[in-house]
Structure 1
Amino acid sequence: MTVTLSQKFIAELFGTFVLVFMGCGSAVIAGAHVGNLGIAFAFGLSVLVMCYAVGHISGCHLNPAITISMWSTGNISAKDTVAYIIAQILGGIVAAALLFFIAQGKPDYSLAANGLGANGVEEGSPDHYSLISGLVSEVVLTMIFLVVVHGSTSKTNQNVKFAGIAIGLCLTLIHIVGIPVTGVSVNPARSIGPALFVGGRALSQLWIFIIGPIVGGLIGGGIWKLYDRK
């Protein structure tokens, strides 16, 4: 069965929507109940379940950093890369819009005070980490993430059926460590949606969460290529 580009587009849009809605939603709606550990698992579990829901359609990238890294290693065409990135960004925006709508149903909700799970550094960082610390953490964490993504989905990996579990748990680990620093992006689409609605500092610092993950993703793909068995 041939999968069309439009089917892949829909799969990436929906998968990214679920990731951003459930991940950021865990912070905005359930954060006070589940804490950082719960938020970390919400992001990881979102990717894990989407891997098995849409992975057979699009590969379940849900992240421009993954798509660009896959393109750099020859695993996806330029045409599909552009379509995937557009779908991912749209999915993140729709998720942020719906989350904002739901959050306003709580009488004491304030966009300025409670946000939408946007990422940030300095005053926008949960623990007030510097811009340099935030940028380096995004590069390093995305690098680790992409080595896991490439390695676990490689055709030479005999355990490829378990790739979704490895990728989901890796994203959980990344959030456990990185939430205090930036709130964790490692995914431009995850950052763009909330930042567009929050505006201000979140929007002015958005470049960190676009450039950092892309650079980290390219480095991760390069590292994987060093030891990949053809």
Structure 2
Amino acid sequence: MRTRTPAPGRVDGVETAPKLGRRLAVELIGTFWLVFAGCGTAVLSARFDTVGVGLLGVAFAFGLAVLTGAYAFGHISGGHFNPAVTVGLWLGGRTRTADVLPYVVVQVIGALGAAGVLLAVAEGRKGFSVARDGFAINGYGTHSPGGYHLGAALLIEVVLTAVFVLVILGATDVRAPRGTGPLAIGLTLTVIHLISIPVTNTSVNPARSTGPALVAGGAALSQLWLFWLAPLAGALVAGFGYRHITGGTGTIEAAAEAQDVDG
């Protein structure tokens, strides 16, 4: 069974995919936008005087960023912007094996670039300190916004990443309503942040965690392992689980094969 190539085009009736370099470029840009928009809202706007956007604003910033990025770039690269999503789609039969590592690498680079730009902007305010003011890092224990312990952080990140990847697989299934996928994905990410910001500051995305952690250093780096392990574990559950739940990968090829079998 062939996996669906992300964002196919057509040349003389034959499906083709954008070149890998183009797909990697938009994955980098999309991940940059997601991390800069979401973490930027948390660092620059969430507690701004009396008009800060707070937790609700941060949640919507992440959701709107992935929604707009998916509409802008989903037709080119698939609009992953997240190593856990890439792994989940690969396990679910939607992404080619050869694309997984390059996607993950550029996603981390994009996130690191966003964190670097965000730091440069944040330091434009006199007296800003990453240690004192925070940098939208993910954490548990004393570094959890609500003081949640390691077990709670691990559980919620696994569960919410699994839900997120399942929604992505379902919303982009060939049998799903066309054109509505980014909306469902963006709203899901918003809800995920509303649930879990108090627990871990919400990761469900190893790249999103890595960029700010590399810039902030210290405890953010020492706890970063969790925000790779848990999202990837959730992606594994969703990627394998989706096939069993729906009876297929949700691709055009799988649907054609099912018709051949049924016929």
TM range (shorter): over 0.9
Aligned-pair CA distance for 1:221:
1.8
Aligned-pair CA distance for 1:75:
1.4
Partner SS, residue 174 of structure 1: helix
State whether residues 11 and 57 of structure 1, in contact with CA within 8 Å, keep that contact through their aligned partners in structure 2: yes
Q: Which runs of 5+ in 1 are unaligned?
A: none
Aligned-pair CA distance for 1:229:
4.7
Equivalent residue in structure 2 for 1:160, among 155, 166, 178: 178
The alignment status of 1:94 with 2:113, answered yes or no, reads yes
What residue is the counterpart of 1:20 in the other structure?
Answer: 35
The alignment status of 1:147 with 2:166, answered yes or no, reads yes
What residue is the counterpart of 1:7 in the other structure?
Answer: 22
What residue is the counterpart of 1:113 in the other structure?
Answer: 132
* Higher alpha-carbon Rg: 2
State whether residues 9 and 84 of structure 1, in contact with CA within 8 Å, keep that contact through their aligned partners in structure 2: yes
Aligned-pair CA distance for 1:70:
1.1
The alignment status of 1:83 with 2:98, answered yes or no, reads no
Residues 59-208 of structure 1 mapped to structure 2, 5 A cutoff: 59-157=78-176, 159-208=177-226
Task: Give the helix-richer structure, 1 or 2.
Answer: 1
What residue is the counterpart of 1:45 in the other structure?
Answer: 64
Task: Work out the CA distance in 2 between the residues paired with 1:160 and 1:10.
Answer: 25
Aligned-pair CA distance for 1:155:
1.3
Partner letter of residue 178 of structure 1? Answer: S
Task: Work out the CA distance in 1 between the residues paired with 2:56 and 2:213.
Answer: 23
Misfit runs of 4+, over 4 Å: none
Partner SS, residue 55 of structure 2: helix
Aligned-pair CA distance for 1:116:
1.7
State whether residues 92 and 242 of structure 2, in contact with CA within 8 Å, keep that contact through their aligned partners in structure 1: no
Root mean square deviation, CA, Å: 0.9
Equivalent residue in structure 1 for 2:233, among 215, 220, 226: 215
State whether residues 90 and 239 of structure 2, in contact with CA within 8 Å, keep that contact through their aligned partners in structure 1: no
Q: Which runs of 5+ in 2 are unaligned?
A: 1-8, 10-16, 249-263
Stretch deviating more after TM superposition (175-184 or 106-115) = 106-115
Task: Work out the CA distance in 2 between the residues paired with 1:67 and 1:21.
Answer: 20
Stretch deviating more after TM superposition (164-173 or 113-122) = 113-122
Task: Work out the CA distance in 2 between the residues paired with 1:208 and 1:26.
Answer: 23
Partner SS, residue 29 of structure 1: helix
Partner letter of residue 132 of structure 1? Answer: G
Task: Work out the CA distance in 2 between the residues paired with 1:131 and 1:199.
Answer: 19
State whether residues 99 and 116 of structure 1, in contact with CA within 8 Å, keep that contact through their aligned partners in structure 2: no
State whether residues 140 and 148 of structure 2, in contact with CA within 8 Å, keep that contact through their aligned partners in structure 1: yes
Show CA shifts across 1:102-149 (max 9, x none).
000011211111122110001110011001100111000101101100
Stretch deviating more after TM superposition (215-224 or 187-196) = 215-224
Task: Work out the CA distance in 1 between the residues paired with 2:155 and 2:235.
Answer: 13
Show CA shifts across 1:20-71 (max 9, x none).
0000001000011000000000000000000110000001000000101111
Show CA shifts across 1:201-230 (max 9, x none).
110000000000000011112222122254
**TM-score, L = length of structure 2:** 0.85
Partner letter of residue 101 of structure 1? Answer: A
Task: Work out the CA distance in 2 between the residues paired with 1:71 and 1:160.
Answer: 21
